[in-house]
Structure formats: structure tokens, C-alpha cells
């Protein structure tokens, strides 16, 4: 893809009932590969705190860290619609702080949209950022930044009452300016109802096929993560095994002095070694 994908393209895909493929990615190298595919959207998620930095939650991701990696992803994929995750405490402290940090993502990292994990308490934040001309993706359903409050994640909207509350929340987000929704870990039936009710692109993660699009993290797609993951995660490769094998082969070649060979080494120009040896001999 050479033409930059915009929100207009995503809205057009929704109107034509064409599904949107999104990937959460954290680095230049992976983004560059994604940019050569049919994927339309990249989210630089605060899950980088877990996947890249090894923490047990998303909470340690900082604004500086997120801006740095988001800038790298933009350089790797200049053509793909780019969304940045507003990390913990980047918007919870008030409208001024939220607007400043959202603006950093736009000005410093070139994003087209910022994502905010939102409850009814943050409707004014959504409106403030949106009114400033910055597109907002409202993240509802399971919200990883709330882990310290709820202790454990479970599927959302599995009862009629919970479903009605999530549907109402989605309506409020859009009414306050959200240009897109991300629904995580919600009952498929409810996510489909929300998708049909609203006119903005709805991206699902673990919320069934009724959404306008789907998102998974790149390491899960590639099969790089090891151990049990969430129910909705699906691997389309087994690169963990191949990566381990490649590292082991490299280590063995180094240890046996097979690498580097002549092909992978630089050499002096013809005749220069003899001249050097003579120079060194003359100095002794």
C-alpha cells in the first residue's frame, strides 16, 4: 500500500461491509513488514509494557516510552492508519493533561487517532480531545488499565443488565465525539448490537465477528508468545520455534568458529596485507 489510509477509508470500508484488519505493533521492524500487507490499521498499544518490557500489566507504560515507540512504528509504516494508546495517568488527571498528551502523539509521532480506555467518568475527556480536532477511539469492555481495581479480568456484557450498560456506554462515547470504538472481551451478541447501532468503525478484540474489524497483537499472530494466552488469541505462524532454532544455530556456528566465514567478513585490498606486514617489520 502506498497511499496513506485515513479515517475516511475506514468509514468507507464499514459502509461497504468490508472488514478492517488491525494489528497491535510496537517496533519499526515489524511495522515495516506490516506496511507491505493488506492490514489497514496499527495500534501501538500500552500492552508493550508487557510484551516488550516484561511487566505483568500495562500500567508501567509511560508517555515518553509510548511516544518513542509510536514514532518508530510510524516510520516503519507511513501508509497505515495509526492509533496510539494513551497510557495510564496520561488522561486520568484531567482535560488539560489529556489534551497535552494526545497532542504529543499527533505532533511527535504522527498518529491519526488516540485510544482512551473509557468509562462514563471520562466522557468530558473524550469530548475535550475530540473538540480539539484529535480523533479518539474509545476503548470499552475489558479495560486493562483497571486491573488494580478489579483484580481479574472476565468477559463483559454476558448478562442482559451488563449488556444494556455497555450499549449505553457506547452510545455516550459516540455522542461525546468518539470517532471509533474498540470493544474488548465482550459477548459477541452485544458487540454486534453496538456495531449495528453506531456509525463509526468498531474494532473488536475477543468480542466476536460482528464488529467492523478485528485486532490482535503482532507477537500472538506470529506465534512468538509462549504459554497460554487469552481465549481469543490466535497464532498464524510458529516463529517462536523457528527463532529459537535460528539463535541456537548461530550460537553453535560461533562456538565452532564456523561464523563468520570469508563471505561475511571484510578484507584488505589485494597486495595491501603484504605492504602492511613490511611496514610493521620495518618498525621492529
The 3 state secondary structure assigned to 201-266 is CEEEECCCCCCCEEEEEHHHHHCCCCCCCCCCCCCCCCHHHHHHHHHHHHHHHHHCCCCCCHHHCC
Tell me, yes or no, whether 2 lies in a domain. no
Say if residue 257 is in the same domain as residue 131: no
Say if residue 153 is in the same domain as residue 220: yes
Say if residue 225 is in the same domain as residue 271: no
Structural domain containing residue 207: 7-237
CATH value at residue 66: 3.20.20.60
- Those residues whose C-beta lies under 8 Å from the C-beta of residue 7, and which sit 6 or more positions away, are 81, 112, 113, 135, 179, 180, 201
Give the C-alpha separation, 15 to 283, whole Å: 80
Tell me, yes or no, whether 220 lies in a domain. yes
Say if residue 180 is in the same domain as residue 250: no
Say if residue 15 is in the same domain as residue 85: yes
Say if residue 108 is in the same domain as residue 249: no
pLDDT (tens place) for every residue of the chain, 284 residues total: 468 999 999 999 999 999 999 999 999 999 999 999 999 999 999 999 999 999 999 999 999 999 999 999 999 999 999 999 999 999 999 999 999 999 999 999 999 999 999 899 999 999 999 999 999 999 999 998 876 665 556 889 999 999 999 999 999 999 999 999 999 999 999 999 999 999 999 999 999 999 999 999 999 999 999 888 888 999 999 999 999 999 999 999 999 999 999 999 999 999 999 999 999 998 76
Tell me, yes or no, whether 1 lies in a domain. no
Tell me, yes or no, whether 152 lies in a domain. yes
Query: Residues of 125-135 as b/e, b for ≥16 C-beta within 10 angstroms?
Result: bbbbbbeeebb
- The domain total for the chain is 2
Q: Which of 97, 184, 263, 272 is catalytic?
A: 184
Say if residue 216 is in the same domain as residue 253: no
Tell me, yes or no, if 188 is annotated catalytic: no
Task: Provide the 3-class DSSP secondary structure of residue 186.
Answer: strand
Counts for the chain of helices (H) and strands (E), in that order:
12, 8
Say if residue 114 is in the same domain as residue 253: no
Say if residue 149 is in the same domain as residue 197: yes
Say if residue 15 is in the same domain as residue 135: yes
Amino acid at each position: 500500500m502506498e497511499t496513506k489510509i485515513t479515517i475516511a477509508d475506514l468509514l468507507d470500508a464499514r459502509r461497504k461491509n468490508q472488514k478492517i484488519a488491525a494489528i497491535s505493533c510496537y517496533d519499526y521492524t515489524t511495522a515495516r513488514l506490516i506496511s507491505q500487507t493488506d492490514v489497514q490499521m496499527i495500534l501501538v498499544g500500552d500492552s508493550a509494557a508487557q510484551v516488550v518490557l516484561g511487566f505483568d500489566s500495562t500500567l508501567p507504560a509511560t508517555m515518553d516510552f509510548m511516544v518513542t515507540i509510536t514514532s518508530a512504528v510510524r516510520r516503519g509504516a507511513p501508509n497505515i492508519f495509526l492509533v496510539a494508546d494513551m497510557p495510564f495517568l496520561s488522561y486520568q488527571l484531567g482535560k488539560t493533561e489529556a489534551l497535552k498528551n494526545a497532542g504529543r502523539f499527533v505532533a511527535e509521532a504522527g498518529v491519526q487517532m488516540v485510544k482512551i480506555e473509557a468509562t462514563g467518568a471520562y466522557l468530558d475527556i473524550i469530548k475535550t480531545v475530540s473538540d480539539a480536532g484529535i480523533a479518539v477511539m474509545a476503548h470499552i469492555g475489558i479495560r486493562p488499565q483497571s486491573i488494580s481495581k478489579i483484580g481479574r479480568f472476565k468477559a463483559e456484557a454476558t448478562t442482559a443488565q451488563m449488556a444494556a450498560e455497555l450499549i449505553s456506554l457506547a452510545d455516550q462515547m459516540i455522542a461525546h465525539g468518539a470517532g471509533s470504538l474498540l470493544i474488548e472481551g465482550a459477548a459477541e451478541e452485544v458487540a454486534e448490537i453496538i456495531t449495528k447501532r453506531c456509525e463509526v468503525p468498531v474494532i473488536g478484540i475477543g468480542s466476536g465477528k460482528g464488529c467492523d474489524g478485528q485486532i490482535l497483537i503482532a507477537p500472538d499472530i506470529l506465534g512468538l508468545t509462549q504459554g497460554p494466552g487469552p481465549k481469543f488469541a490466535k497464532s498464524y505462524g510458529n516463529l517462536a520455534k523457528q527463532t529459537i532454532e535460528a539463535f541456537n544455530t548461530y550460537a553453535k556456528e560461533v562456538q565452532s568458529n564456523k561464523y563468520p566465514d570469508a563471505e561475511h567478513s571484510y578484507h584488505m585490498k589485494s597486495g595491501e596485507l603484504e605492504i602492511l606486514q613490511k611496514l610493521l617489520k620495518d618498525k621492529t
